[in-house]
Amino acid sequence: MASAYCYTEDLTNLTNHLTTVHSVTPSAVIFSLGVGGNLLAIFLLVKHSNTHQWRVFYRLVAGLAVTDLFGILSSSPLAFIVYSNDFRWVGGQPACDYMSVVLIFASVSTMLIATSMSMDRFFAVCYPFVYKTFEKKRRVHVILASLWIFALLFACLPLVHLGHNVRHFPCTWCFFDYFGTNVTDVIYSLLYASLGILTIATSSVINILVLVAVGKQAKRHHKGLSVRSRKGRKRAKRNEMFILTFIIAILLTFAICWLPLMIRIVTNISLKQIPDYPSDLLAIRFASWNQILDPWIYIVLRKEMLARLYNVYRRFNRQEASEYSVCNADRSEVNDNGDMRNRLNTAQDETHQQVLMQSSKETGNVLSPN
């Protein structure tokens, strides 16, 4: 099993090797960005609560931020202690079980909340009347509590011997044993990977359906509406697209961060190959970045920020259009001036010719005999 690497009796050589190869810096950077980003996201949600009025979607966003923050604050300090102890584990198996439960709980909660956000938009767009009838802010609290309870129960399964928790390379973190050969280890590993892949696939299908529905509604409602109604419909569509952009970004981030770990788990369980410790470490670090990127996605892609970017884009387009109009006006003015100059020159030439002809006539009259 992969955990045998961290349970060797030759601790001196193990710690010397890990100390020279691995640094605490990546974990410290992840911890700082994650805590700062989630605190800032929660602050912005509270600050702009008068704008979004804590609708269901924004309560789910707050639940996601709280979950990510809890996962980081609950697991990272133990890893830092192990780093400072020259990679020697502290706290025994209870500390290992605790860290594994926290990591599994946070990851499963993130999967379920992200899927719930997609489903919220699906019912809001595709079944608006049903959504408004059943949209109660208290119900989202029940949904969040149910998701957290399910995630906690799922994370505690290794404690009742459906799988078991072990230390993983570089021996600073604990997770369920996805290298185990026992039937329970295989079952739990496949359950975890299947749950992650299923939530990603479900959210992807739901978001595609929502995008198609938004496009159809835009075409249907655009016909036969007054100018004022069209503006209101356009504003509502723009707000919906802001939210969809955020959800799709969350989904893509979740897929990019977690799919490598899911693939590693399935590969290790099914192929029974020689453990590839660096690849496993890279996969879990990819997964840990999900808790860091989620709040920053909200900070950058929240509706107020996207509205400002959209206004800047419109202002830039208007400026380009006005400059183009000015250039065309200047060009036409130059052409008009050229045409006027040509007309004046032509008129002057005609006048000059008439004067010459008149003069020649008068001269002829003077010279001719009476």
Note the pLDDT tens digit of each residue in 161-190: 998 999 887 788 899 988 888 899 999 999
Q: Is residue 221 part of a domain?
A: yes
Q: Is residue 252 part of a domain?
A: yes
Of 90-104, 152-166, 239-253, 323-337, give the lowest mean pLDDT range. 323-337
What's the pLDDT score for residue 29? Answer: 85
Select the highest-mean-pLDDT range: 55-69, 300-314, 326-340.
Answer: 55-69
Looking at per-residue confidence, does 354 or 187 come out higher? 187
Q: Is residue 344 part of a domain?
A: no
Mean pLDDT of 337-360: 57
- For 175, list phi and psi in degrees, rounded to 5: -155, 175
Looking at per-residue confidence, does 318 or 176 come out higher? 176
- pLDDT at 25 exceeding the cut of 90: no
Q: Is residue 243 part of a domain?
A: yes
Q: Is residue 126 part of a domain?
A: yes
Rounded CA-CA distance 41/140 in Å is 19
Percentage above 70 pLDDT, the chain: 70
Rounded CA-CA distance 341/28 in Å is 75
Rounded CA-CA distance 275/5 in Å is 10
What's the pLDDT score for residue 369? Answer: 40
Q: Is residue 325 part of a domain?
A: no
Which residue from 34, 104, 29, 108 is spatially nearest to 73, judged by alpha carbons? 34
- pLDDT at 230 exceeding the cut of 70: no
Mean pLDDT of 337-350: 58
Beta-bridge mates of residue 167:
174
Beta-bridge mates of residue 168:
173
**Number of structural domains in the chain:** 1
Q: Is residue 324 part of a domain?
A: no
Mean pLDDT of 181-200: 91
Which residue from 75, 92, 266, 283 is spatially nearest to 178, judged by alpha carbons? 266
Kindly report, residue by residue over 89-101, the tens digit of the pLDDT: 888 899 999 999 9
pTM, two decimals, is 0.76
Contact between 65 and 125 (Cβ < 8 Å):
no
What's the pLDDT score for residue 207? Answer: 85
Kindly report, residue by residue over 107-134, the tens digit of the pLDDT: 999 989 989 988 988 888 888 887 877 6
- Domain encompassing residue 251: 2-301
Query: Domain holding 222: CATH number?
Result: 1.20.1070.10
Kindly report, residue by residue over 149-165, the tens digit of the pLDDT: 999 999 999 999 998 99
Looking at per-residue confidence, does 279 or 218 come out higher? 279
Q: Is residue 65 part of a domain?
A: yes
b/e 125-148 (16+ beta carbons within 10 angstroms → b)? bbeeeebeeeeeeeebeebbeebb
